[in-house]
Structure 1
Amino acid sequence: MYKWFLKIFGYVFIGLPMFVCDVSGQMKSPEQIIGRHKNIFLSPPSKTPGRVAVDGPLLGNGSVAVAMAGQPEQQTYYLTRNDFWRLKSAYNESFPAVLGTLQIDIPSLKSASYKIQQDLYHASATADFTKGNASAIIRSEVAATKDWLIIEIKNNGQASMGGKVALLLPQADQFYVNPPLENKFPDSTSSGNDAQGLQWIQRAFVKDVSIQSQAVAALKIIGKDSNEFLLKPGETMVMVCALSSNFRDTNCLQIVKQQIRKTSIETVKSTRKAHLAWWKHFWNKSLVNIEDPVIEQQYYRSQYNLASCSRDPKFPPGIFGSWVTREIPSWNGDYHLNYNYTAPFYALYSSNHLEQAMPYYEPLLDFIERGKYYSEKITQIPDGVLYPVGIGPLGIETTRKNSLMNYKTEDEGLFFGQKSNAAYCAVTMSMHFYKTYDRSFAKHVYPFIRSVAIFWQHYLKKDGKRYIIENDAIHEGTFGTMNPILSLGLVPVVLKTAIDMSTLLNEDKALRDDWKEKIDHLSGYTFQVRNGKTVFRYSEKGTDWWNDNTLGIQHIYPAGQIGLESDSNLLQVARNTIEVMNRWKDYNGSNSFFPAAVRVGYNSDTILTKLHDYSLHTYPNGFQSGNPHGIENCSTVPNTINEMLCMSNQNVLRVFAVWPKEKNASFSNIRCDGAFLVSSELKNKAVKYLIITSEKGQDCVIQNPWKGKTLIIKSKYRKVRKQDGEKIKLPTLAGETLFITPEGGDI
């Protein structure tokens, strides 16, 4: 049996290709699982361009993003870069900006049939347009390892097909101007072409800004000296559009021109090969296989979207990801700190996609100095941090008071009465830390965690034997709230993470006892009766309930303060609150509502039914239909499924704990607290095996998946062990993989 495990699951610790069991019982690779899911577009996008989430095919590499739209005879590619912002610390004066469009005109395709198929596994989009004897196959991809958009056009018809390609600065449909709040700010632009068929555009913000920014693009049809083309039946042509910015290259326009002039078909082939290798590596990080193809497709296209927009080390995506197609996007497309900025990243940790999570931290670290200013100026707490509702990259404050603002501010900052923004942002840092125990990561983010902890250490007020939170709004504008349930959930996360990070780094030992004392004596939750059920009250004094949003359960998730190890009475209140709130489709909070339901053991059939409905309520690209928000919904399905299959909060690892036992499922390399990578399979109502790879050698406590049975534990580093119990503590070695089965089990 052990040799069988090594043969099939050797990838867990020696890097072989990953597989999971399909519902049929056959071993399947990531390409076989993910490759069966395609995004199909059967009509031209109607909401692209737009100020909110768009509905067209999405391409990107985390630095460059492209949203596709237009009729067959005029395909349009909306070009953006993560690092192209108008950067000014002022309300409604800072936002991710548009660069321009790439437009392909093929007159013979007017009124052609429309179909675009997006291949998630290979990260490409293929258009098939046909009208009579005119037919074109257009394949598009943003290269994973270069800031290139590669487009290949094949004449698939029976007659010659002509057209032209244009690289254009933003047109009228890419601007939203509604003075006095929304304005078109002065920019610097240039464009041109040369005798060899090279085209370029350049756009920059250099006046009345805090930091100057510039973005450029250059385009050429390979092997042609013109932007016009004529393809005979069966012929193919390739064009490449290279993009850059002043943050990437000092002479960015000159560099992209040079790149394009040197580009050949062989260069494109090698770039595509590297592109496919990158995505193969990405998809091999983790894998799930379930019996619901609708949910499974939403699982993988959500992860595709995050991988396509989050990789630039200093410029993470804003509310709408990197696909900003109209200026100014709603909410300025900024980093909204009272949940919108954080929520897209929830699923990345358990899915083992840490590279996509790394950009999230940089704007928060860059804003520490300004956060300390607000902490001392507004609350008289030196060395702590207090963050406003909106920030941008490189220390920019997108909601700073200016003549346009008519909201109530504190000093120059817009807080809506909430003190919890920085604590909310610390949650994903905590997730990353406990799922990796990465010392270098802890050292990188500890200055932020420490400052948030110091703020709350001094902001909490002693009231008898407990500490209370005063004047902290539970919802935007609910001024004067006492003990909001959100902050009661977030503060312990911050303080515990600060204690454990400081211990690992051997720093601030003198602060730990006070941090621990604050955790131990923080006020408890308050309750109320609604619809005949005892549920959580949103605050002890002030707001008791809210008719949308999911703030009433965010102490459960993402704060993680209640789970299956919690007191049974508290768990019942949590389940009651899930039932009474009923926020499965909420514009603001489905991303926390679903995983919260899982964490407290809500009915698994109900969760999957609601998740199936949620997965159907999307545009073909995976964005929620009719929901103005963007990538925050990318975490909902992956995070919920990962938690249902493999839950590790409250220091106990559980597999299939909130999953219908009659539904077969399998997964590989879900990342869990304690720096463990876990794989397992449920088949015919029984867990077949459990594989745990330990990265850091932490002890692992597992809930016995085989109730009442003895566990057989195998490792190449030790003799075979047997252990009994309901909860079993397993010591591990760094780099060790444990293979666990029930005694007498049939694999």
Structure 2
Amino acid sequence: MRTTLLSIFFVAQVIFACAQQTEGIFPVEQLGNTIYSGVFTGNGLLGTMTYRKSNHAIRIDIGRTDVYDHRKNSETALFDKARLPIGHFEWSFMDTIQQAVGRMDYRNAEAEATVIVGGKPIVFRTITFAHRDIIYIELSGDLSTFEQSGVLQWVSEQAKSPRVNFAHAKKPDQYPPNPPAHTGKQGDVQFHHQPLLAGGGYSVAWKRVSRGDKPAYLVSVAYDTVGSDHLANAVTNVRTFPWRTLDEELQQHRLWWQKYYAKSSINIPDPVIQQFYHMQLYKLASATGDGRPAMDLQGPWTANTPWPAYWHNLNIQLAYSPTFTANHLEISKSLIQMIDRNVDNLIRNVPAPYQYNSAAIGRSSAPDMVSPVYVARGKDGRAWDDGKREVGNLTWMLHSYYQYYRYSMDSSVYDRLFPLLKRSVNYYLHLLDEDEQGRYHIVEKTYSPEYGKGYAYDTNYDLAILRWGLQALIALDDERPGRDPLYERWKDVRANLRDYPQDEDGFMIAKDVPYAESHRHYSHLMMIYPFYDVHWEQSENRDLIVRSMQHWQSKDAYLQGYSFTGAASMYAMMGDGDKALQSLQTLLKHYVKPNTLYAETGPVIETPLAAMTSIQELCLQYWNETARIFPAMPKTWRDVSFHDLLTDGAFLVSAERKEGKTTHVVVKSQYDGVLRLQTGIWEGDVRIHGKGKLLERDGEEVLLQLVKGDVATITRDTDGLADKYHNIGPRGHVLSELSP
């Protein structure tokens, strides 16, 4: 039955995406009674989710992403420092809801839920303003049924960790409740005020207004960790909002989103994948942004969950993975800001003997990133939780920080990244020794995430992360004059680190631990992706890559959504667009929810966003110091283009493919630099025009040196475009400026 319903949903998505793609509308054909079939809005801090509560009620959840408890006990962070639900507005009807449908106008960042009651439609419109911390709710349609029998009610959630609702979760011996909340009214503003045991609290304030003959509501949520200013702030936000000039506010809101979408685009001939990609762009800016809290597993859209925290062994890395290529570093910035704020806690997360030069983070944490890792030389770790034995999480997270630096080329980012990456790698260096063959290996057991028997020596998770961290430190040090005292040590360990454990089936979990049971996480394959230490251009490793992937995917009992995004990205690296697309289609058919959210017991935001990355990698990849244009096109994608995608070195790249052939590539340089580019232009002579210097040319691959502001256009002569421009001369010749 589940498969049938999902198939129906997938077909419906095709139909509606085809019909409404150009309008920027994403339909949800049946509003269900969970957040996964609702319509949502957000501004990176506040958000709404509208769906059915029952056959007689509609609810609009109100969320704020930084509402976390903040008690001091780090050992029970999932309770004492958990993300807290807030509450919802509920509209109840005496008559039964006959039908409820939704639509999200992602271009203008609005959502509508249309409810049929007594044969008459009522439309609930929600907007979370991009430029103000205000939520706007408007009702329209035939309101006679609503005015006669509808009841508006605020329903608060209890201020406790939702993890207490799950029987399998280990609960603390002491978990005193937060103080009781109370509701009240200040003039024409109603409020819900929730103090917290640890200090501070959060408040929701709302006010009814009128827009013509339409009833409407202004809502705000405020939060602080000390005092009670949150109540005054929430009330003030509502009172001072200039709702009488609402049209001007809406125009500013829409203009913000227009500028956001204009930063990059991908255009593909698959309406479902195209619409899905747009929805992830919408979701990113709805969930976070510059100066906003970093994305946890939920964004602004909360539901009952055992995961009320940040997860650092895959989730946060995947959630931010599409922001770099999408040219939305302002979204990436919220992660960078969270890391920068908490460096001292990251240092304190390692055992005391290593804190002088090391840093780490365990599996999960609150926004303070307090999450100890206990692995130390000579310490028996069998009694520890698995999350406290994951050594590599911070280094992997800094892979995102490294991308943020390389895609922005901001020297101030370098200055913050380098010492922290050095600390995270130093933690590994404390745990290394040489074996009989002179190869470095990790002398204590660590944990390979998600694998039942993953507590072992020399996990591939750690070896892949360490190799990447060492290579990144070497590359960063090469950018600056002088040498770090550890530079030669990094090179030595990188060159002489123990090989990745493997057997006849491919890469193992760890030394002496084969991949023998289903495993949703690709922690044992990270040398393939995302680090590309073992990659398709190494012909000697192709069979190993194929065997490893096939063996991983063959044990499918516990595969989940991100198992298929990982596979899609690996197939894209192999140049197999058809298999990559097949993996994405499996994800959409069987795992992604009707409104493109995703769940594993509770909401987890990362998987659809990781799929967005996989879509990007069909069109543009960067690894092994080379950018690749259309490297993994499915056979059915004959006409594809993208505009201003971002790549390493802060180059903006645009390209077009028609009838299965790349017609042109445009590279814009935002900083001085060199870009090696596989153009994807195989037929006809490659012609380059614009500004810059050609350092090398080998068939379809070119090496360009560009200074800030240069634009180079690459075409094939057979399209006729090259004749309009001066073609470049021999190797090293400065490109001519564009001719009229």
Q: In 2 relative to 1, CA 741–129 (structure 1 residues): closer, same or farther, beyond 3 Å?
A: same
For residue 545 of structure 2, the aligned residue among 574, 578, 592 is 574
Tell me the secondary structure at the aligned position of residue 699 of structure 1: strand
Q: Quick one: which amino acid aligns to residue 90 of structure 1?
A: E
The alpha carbon displacement at 1:336 in A equals 1.7
| 2:192 equivalent to 1:206 | no
| 2:295 equivalent to 1:313 | no
The alpha carbon displacement at 1:305 in A equals 1.7
- Structure 1 unmatched runs, 5+: 1-31, 49-53, 225-233, 401-406
* Contact residue 575 and residue 600 of structure 1 kept, 8 A: no
| 2:540 equivalent to 1:559 | no
Partner of 1:539: 510
Matches within 5 A, 1:271-310: 271-310=249-288
| 2:628 equivalent to 1:654 | yes
The alpha carbon displacement at 1:580 in A equals 2.6
Q: Distance in 2 between matches of 1:454 and 1:272?
A: 51
Partner of 1:613: 586
Q: Distance in 2 between matches of 1:548 and 1:479?
A: 10
Tell me the secondary structure at the aligned position of residue 708 of structure 2: coil
For residue 439 of structure 1, the aligned residue among 405, 411, 419 is 411
For residue 75 of structure 2, the aligned residue among 82, 90, 109 is 90
Output one character per residue of 1:68-104: Cα deviation in whole Å (capped at 9) or x when no partner.
2235753212222111101232313221101222223
For residue 548 of structure 1, the aligned residue among 519, 529, 538 is 519
The alpha carbon displacement at 1:724 in A equals 5.3
Q: Distance in 2 between matches of 1:160 and 1:462?
A: 75
The alpha carbon displacement at 1:324 in A equals 1.9
For residue 614 of structure 2, the aligned residue among 640, 645, 658 is 640
Higher alpha-carbon deviation: 422-431 or 261-270? 261-270
Q: In 2 relative to 1, CA 375–187 (structure 1 residues): closer, same or farther, beyond 3 Å?
A: closer
Q: Distance in 2 between matches of 1:174 and 1:462?
A: 45
| 2:464 equivalent to 1:489 | yes
Larger RCO (CA under 8 A, 6+ residues apart): 1
Q: Quick one: which amino acid aligns to residue 103 of structure 1?
A: E
| 2:313 equivalent to 1:338 | yes
Q: Distance in 1 between matches of 2:694 and 2:650?
A: 23
* Contact residue 169 and residue 191 of structure 1 kept, 8 A: no
Partner of 1:451: 423
Partner of 1:197: 188
The alpha carbon displacement at 1:157 in A equals 6.2
Q: In 2 relative to 1, CA 184–398 (structure 1 residues): closer, same or farther, beyond 3 Å?
A: farther
Q: Distance in 2 between matches of 1:371 and 1:104?
A: 45
The alpha carbon displacement at 1:314 in A equals 6.1
Q: In 2 relative to 1, CA 650–506 (structure 1 residues): closer, same or farther, beyond 3 Å?
A: same
Partner of 1:468: 441
Output one character per residue of 1:583-619: Cα deviation in whole Å (capped at 9) or x when no partner.
7952553333321221133x32122123123223322
Matches within 5 A, 1:595-634: 595-601=569-575, 603-617=576-590, 618-624=592-598, 628=602, 630-634=604-608
Partner of 1:420: 392
The alpha carbon displacement at 1:649 in A equals 0.8
Partner of 2:141: 155
Partner of 1:24: none
| 2:42 equivalent to 1:60 | yes
Q: Distance in 1 between matches of 2:434 and 2:699?
A: 42
Q: Quick one: which amino acid aligns to residue 80 of structure 1?
A: G
The alpha carbon displacement at 1:408 in A equals 5.5
The alpha carbon displacement at 1:652 in A equals 1.4
Output one character per residue of 1:679-710: Cα deviation in whole Å (capped at 9) or x when no partner.
11111121011011122221111124222643
* Contact residue 87 and residue 396 of structure 1 kept, 8 A: no
Partner of 1:141: 127
Q: Distance in 1 between matches of 2:454 and 2:600?
A: 30
Tell me the secondary structure at the aligned position of residue 666 of structure 1: strand
Partner of 1:28: none
Partner of 1:354: 329
Partner of 2:688: 713
Q: In 2 relative to 1, CA 268–389 (structure 1 residues): closer, same or farther, beyond 3 Å?
A: same
Q: Distance in 2 between matches of 1:46 and 1:174?
A: 22
| 2:30 equivalent to 1:43 | yes
* Contact residue 303 and residue 634 of structure 1 kept, 8 A: no
* Contact residue 474 and residue 543 of structure 1 kept, 8 A: no
The alpha carbon displacement at 1:140 in A equals 0.6
- Structure 2 unmatched runs, 5+: 1-18, 375-380, 722-740
Q: Distance in 2 between matches of 1:357 and 1:148?
A: 23
Q: How many matched pairs?
A: 680
* Contact residue 117 and residue 145 of structure 2 kept, 8 A: no
Higher alpha-carbon deviation: 281-290 or 722-731? 722-731
Partner of 2:6: none
* Contact residue 709 and residue 742 of structure 1 kept, 8 A: yes
Could you tell me the TM-score, scaled by structure 2's length?
0.84
The alpha carbon displacement at 1:667 in A equals 0.9
Partner of 2:206: 219
Output one character per residue of 1:410-462: Cα deviation in whole Å (capped at 9) or x when no partner.
5xx86353322222212211222222222122223333212112222333322
* Contact residue 50 and residue 60 of structure 2 kept, 8 A: yes
Aligned-residue RMSD, C-alpha:
3.3
Higher alpha-carbon deviation: 624-633 or 345-354? 624-633
Q: In 2 relative to 1, CA 451–45 (structure 1 residues): closer, same or farther, beyond 3 Å?
A: same
Q: Distance in 2 between matches of 1:258 and 1:575?
A: 60
Partner of 2:731: none
Q: Quick one: which amino acid aligns to residue 525 of structure 2?
A: I
Tell me the secondary structure at the aligned position of residue 206 of structure 1: coil
Q: In 2 relative to 1, CA 694–682 (structure 1 residues): closer, same or farther, beyond 3 Å?
A: same
Partner of 1:8: none
Q: In 2 relative to 1, CA 573–642 (structure 1 residues): closer, same or farther, beyond 3 Å?
A: same
Tell me the secondary structure at the aligned position of residue 674 of structure 1: coil
* Contact residue 702 and residue 727 of structure 1 kept, 8 A: yes
For residue 500 of structure 1, the aligned residue among 475, 479, 485 is 475
Output one character per residue of 1:692-746: Cα deviation in whole Å (capped at 9) or x when no partner.
112222111112422264322122x469999553432111111211111012324
Higher alpha-carbon deviation: 249-258 or 568-577? 249-258
Q: In 2 relative to 1, CA 139–109 (structure 1 residues): closer, same or farther, beyond 3 Å?
A: farther
Tell me the secondary structure at the aligned position of residue 509 of structure 1: coil
Q: In 2 relative to 1, CA 157–369 (structure 1 residues): closer, same or farther, beyond 3 Å?
A: closer
Partner of 1:186: 177
Q: Quick one: which amino acid aligns to residue 528 of structure 2?
A: I
Partner of 1:77: 60
* Contact residue 39 and residue 117 of structure 1 kept, 8 A: yes
| 2:652 equivalent to 1:702 | no
Output one character per residue of 1:524-543: Cα deviation in whole Å (capped at 9) or x when no partner.
2232223xxxx222223334
The alpha carbon displacement at 1:506 in A equals 5.8
